[in-house]
Amino acid sequence: MNPHLEIIRPLNCIMAGIGALAGCIIVGIPGINYLVLFKIGLAFAVVFLVTGAGNTLNDYYDADADKINHPSRPIPSGRLEQKNAMNFAITLFTAGIIISCFINTCSFLIAVIAALLLVAYEKKLKKKASLGMW
């Protein structure tokens, strides 16, 4: 499998995207038309991309641990350089946030907040949680 596709954990991203679709159904679809279907598709894409970025970021920050725990993943196996993984994560976050602009302001804010929380978790919060500081 292509290392860029593998690092995002596509099944994980699909399941998250299905969660977005379920959210659309739960809040109620005001009437099916092409614009509504298009925006629902955009919501799926945003969640897919932001989730993929988070998974990529996770592998970036866990590269040393993954050498032992998951040596076949793209970074520890040498199929994807660590710096390229970070650039890929940034690209995915950016694409997801840009696409969210075409849905509505609320979607944009949710995408930005989700991205910021994923970055904060990987950079700072995960270490604190593992030390029992929560």
The vertex-92 CA angle with 87 and 94, nearest 5°, equals 95
pTM for the complete prediction? 0.90
The two tokens of residue 133 are 């500081």
At residue 104, the pLDDT reads 94
For residues 46 and 99, the answer to whether their CB atoms sit within 8 Å is yes
For residues 74 and 83, the answer to whether their CB atoms sit within 8 Å is no
| Predicted confidence (pLDDT) at residue 81 exceeds the cutoff of 90 | yes
Domain ranges of the chain: 3-11+33-125
Residues 83-112 have a mean pLDDT of 97
pLDDT in tens, 13-71: 999 999 999 998 888 777 778 888 899 999 999 999 999 999 999 999 999 999 999 99
| Predicted confidence (pLDDT) at residue 112 exceeds the cutoff of 60 | yes
Instruction: Quote the CA–CA distance of 110 and 47 in Å, as a whole number.
Output: 10
Percent of residues, the chain, with pLDDT higher than 70: 94
